[in-house]
Chains A and B, each alone.
Chain A
Amino acid sequence: MKTMRSLTPGQTGHIEKVNAKGALLMRLSELGFTADEEIICLTESPLGDPKTYFVKGAVYAVRNGDAENIILR
């Protein structure tokens, strides 16, 4: 199973589903982390965690632990 965490800067992925519940799922989907959406991993923090992802025109820093819950196709 490939997750968003496995993307390295410059790589692109397509979301299959998001393994989150309640408020977090709601927030993720409002920001654009939803099925079929294309995401690009942009940069990695100098300490390796978190990484930034480009989705729907905006860039977000997401911790690796959280990025594991976003499953890619």
Chain B
Amino acid sequence: MDKKTVAFAGNPNVGKSTVFNAITGLHQHTGNWTGKTVETAIGHFDNGTTEFDCIDLPGSYSMIPCSAEEEVTRNYILSNKADIIVCVCDATCLERNLTLVLQILNITKNVIICINFIKEAKRNGLTVNTKKLSEMLDCNVIEIDAKKRSGIDDLIHAIARYKRKPETNEPPMPPVKINEKAKEIFRACVSGETKPDKNTAKADAVLTGKFTAFPLMLIFYALIFWLTLVGSNYPSEWLSDIFGFLLDILDKLLENFGLNDFLRDLTVYGVFGTTATVVSVMLPPMAIFFPLFTILEDIGYLPRIAFNLDKCFNKCGSCGKQALTMCMGFGCNAAAVVGCRIIDSPRERLIATLTNSFVPCNGRFPTLIAIIAMFFASDGTFFSSVVSALILTVFVLIGIGMTLIISKILSKTVLKGKSSSFILEMPPFRKPQIKNIIVRSLLDRTLKVLARAICVAAPTGAVIWLSANISVDGRSVLSMICEFFDPIGKFLGLDGTVFTAFLLGLPANEIVMPIASMAYSAEGALSDIADLTAFKNLLTANGWTTVTAICFTLFSLFHWPCATTISTIKKESGLGWAVLSVILPTATGFIVCGAVSFILKIIIL
């Protein structure tokens, strides 16, 4: 079969990814860009005779790049690797889209143009003459409604039938000329007067209103946490039961194979047990949180958060888009660090990168939720789950506050400077595409993060099991390590065991609590922490008080980022900044926990 490469380009928020998904279906994956770690979706389809590799390029306003993301798109198009470029345009703001189209046509003539959102444009008072547009641009122009899949077949046909045009030696147009030409074509092909979208205006009046914006933001956060909290309870127990069952089977199986006790326990309780705990603790909250978060993303709420909070970030010398990357951090800090590429100024991008781990990621939520449920709202009723969600929201607010404080300190010291200009598009609110959301969030986010966690949990499980089961002078290595760190732990209002658990949890935050429980119970295997009452008893038997719980929660917010995040920062910004990204939250954690435990102990004594 023949092979051809099709690249999808377009402004942000034009439905480019929807078109891409409609064409490639599930035959896609998110891949790393060679050399850099820019994540682009890669997919393919074929028509029997030719196989088409499709690449979803990052959304871009211009071929004159302002951010790392836009640079990727420009460099790819300049590299001439694609046989065809499909340029997706939004009919509601066609003139701006035409600027990009003309810039791309300046580089290659092998372009197919898709016009999306024709209906929305009509509702706003605009009619697009696609035939005339096609003549003026000398390109194939296809009307599509990406959500309803109409026009997608036309696009597939157009791609399949496409014959590459010979390269011409026309001199490229200067940028100013391009803007003029875009205006000229727009005037010739679009009739009617453009008006702001009415529904979006109504929604914005509430969502960014003076008195409603912040309460609604808090309610959305609390609601997402609450749904995650309540929704993941039962699936976590089910998974835990299933894994318990599988563990017995594996144990018997290995016994029958004649494996010796030591190796069998290492495999069953160390490797399998740890991995099973991590999966059953992590998977349900992620499978609920990521789709909910993607819904907010998909309807266009995230730019509104940035809009509401921008003044705070501006005052701290950083960029409003940092609010977006901060929100991404709730999902996964490592992914959010990559997301910091949307920030144009390198200085502000570094601030956003370095402060990202100050908000708790999904790997830390289950732990936070468990501690809150055990020590602050323990009776398991509807009311207590609401209280838990609210307490979690308060801790999240503490994290956001610390993000701002550290951003301010950074912009006054190592990353000195005023905040640069900030222009952020507020896309119209659009209905979320539930099917896409589920596919994207489960495949791209949940499974990816889970796979990563399993990769680190399995070897860590072996190490922990070994350290708990190898004894020197009748004492396990693990207990000796815990004792060694006890002074530091005590200073933080914790103890050596918990501190060791945080250290061993470096590969993935989700295993901190299971490690602590294992070290306490000295069972030599990660025990089931689904049973909260039993777990609380275990903790209190080991000297846990409410102060310990508060300090634990704070230290869980402010300590070193997980290994994946650190290595991502190293890739994105270099070793020096990666080191600082470890020092900053750790120092913050030591100061905050040290002070809180000191003060609380004085008050209580």
Q: Point out the residues of chain B lying under 8 angstroms from A8, CB to CB.
A: none
Interface size on B, residues (CB 8 A): 45
Q: Point out the residues of chain B lying under 8 angstroms from A65, CB to CB.
A: 421
Q: Point out the residues of chain A lying under 8 angstroms from B495, CB to CB.
A: none
A46 touching B422 by the CB < 8 A rule? no
Q: How far is the CA of A73 from the CA of B427 in the complex (A)?
A: 27
B423 touching A61 by the CB < 8 A rule? yes
Q: How far is the CA of A34 from the CA of B424 in the complex (A)?
A: 17
* Min CB gap A38→B, angstroms: 10
Asked whether B31 is an interface residue with its Cβ less than 8 Å from the other chain, the reply is no
Q: Point out the residues of chain A lying under 8 angstroms from B311, CB to CB.
A: 45, 47-50
* Min CB gap B601→A, angstroms: 38
B95 touching A45 by the CB < 8 A rule? no
Cβ-closest chain B residue relative to A46: B213
A61 touching B310 by the CB < 8 A rule? yes
B-contact 0/1 string along A1-43, CB 8 Å cutoff: 0000000000000000000100110111111101000001011
* Min CB gap A20→B, angstroms: 8
B179 touching A47 by the CB < 8 A rule? no
A49 touching B196 by the CB < 8 A rule? no
B124 touching A57 by the CB < 8 A rule? yes
**Interface size, A (range):** 20 to 34
Asked whether B346 is an interface residue with its Cβ less than 8 Å from the other chain, the reply is no
- Name the prevailing secondary structure of the A interface residues: mixed
Q: How far is the CA of A47 from the CA of B213 in the complex (A)?
A: 10
Cβ-closest chain A residue relative to B210: A46
B61 touching A27 by the CB < 8 A rule? yes
B179 touching A30 by the CB < 8 A rule? yes
Cβ-closest chain A residue relative to B424: A61
Q: Point out the residues of chain A lying under 8 angstroms from B66, CB to CB.
A: 23, 27
Q: Point out the residues of chain A lying under 8 angstroms from B421, CB to CB.
A: 20, 24, 63, 65-66
Q: How far is the CA of A6 from the CA of B426 in the complex (A)?
A: 20
A42 touching B196 by the CB < 8 A rule? yes
Assuming A24-B421, A27-B61, is B308 touching A46 (CB within 8 A)? yes
* Min CB gap A33→B, angstroms: 9
Q: Point out the residues of chain A lying under 8 angstroms from B427, CB to CB.
A: 59
A30 touching B99 by the CB < 8 A rule? yes
Q: How far is the CA of A50 from the CA of B315 in the complex (A)?
A: 12
Q: How far is the CA of A62 from the CA of B314 in the complex (A)?
A: 12
Q: How far is the CA of A61 from the CA of B249 in the complex (A)?
A: 59
Q: How far is the CA of A57 from the CA of B96 in the complex (A)?
A: 9
Asked whether B126 is an interface residue with its Cβ less than 8 Å from the other chain, the reply is yes
Q: In the complex, which residues 413-429 of chain B have their Cβ closer than 8 Å to any Cβ of chain A?
A: 421-428
* Min CB gap B406→A, angstroms: 20
* Min CB gap A6→B, angstroms: 18
Q: How far is the CA of A23 from the CA of B427 in the complex (A)?
A: 23
Q: Point out the residues of chain A lying under 8 angstroms from B423, CB to CB.
A: 27-28, 31, 60-62, 66
5 A-B residue pairings within 8 Å (CB atoms): A31-B61, A57-B92, A58-B96, A59-B427, A60-B424
Beyond A31-B61, A59-B425, A63-B320, 10 additional pairs, beta carbon < 8 A: A26-B62, A27-B61, A43-B201, A45-B311, A49-B310, A50-B422, A59-B196, A60-B426, A61-B303, A61-B424
